[in-house]
Amino acid sequence: MKLILEHIWVAFILATIINALIAKLRAKDMIKNDPSLESGYNKLFWGMIIYTNIPWIIMGVGNLTGYTNYIFEYFHPRTLNLAVLAFHGSILILWLLSIYWVYFNHGAEMIERHPGFFRISGPTGSFDVTAKQVKLFLPLLLLGGVIVFAAMWLDAFPALEMKF
């Protein structure tokens, strides 16, 4: 159990890579139909691989250097632990970059022009997202993240002591 808790960041990195690979596989048929889309799909793929893994890499560095030991320490940023602050700061920066990209750099339109990369699944099946949906739901997703971060900063999560 200790090994899992110390290295859970590896599982998060693997999960984001698997998600990106699945999206890339879905894009193959679209690229076959319109080869001009390949560059855009590659940008989305590498963007997903690089940017979504930044917080997990910071978590890994924190754990490997001894600044932190377990994932639970990242729920308590008020301790002002350097690794935990870097983790939270990276997520805040990624949120700001996503707002800029979606609303001011035509990111939502890029997602719409590259169907299959991002999909929404529901009770009636899966479908590609439109630029309008991206612009509508991004604030809702960020609001959820802000609520969780506020709870962490207000110390609403119980402290857990790990003894192995």
Q: Which pTM does this prediction carry?
A: 0.88
Annotated domain spans of the chain: 2-153
pLDDT tens for each residue of the chain, 164 residues long: 777 888 999 999 999 999 999 999 999 989 999 999 999 999 999 999 999 999 999 999 999 999 998 888 999 999 999 999 999 999 999 999 999 999 999 999 999 999 988 888 888 888 889 999 999 999 999 999 999 999 999 988 777 666 55
Instruction: Give the whole-angstrom CA distance, residue 63 versus residue 67.
Output: 6
SS (H, E, C) 133-152: HHHHHHHHHHHHHHHHHHHH
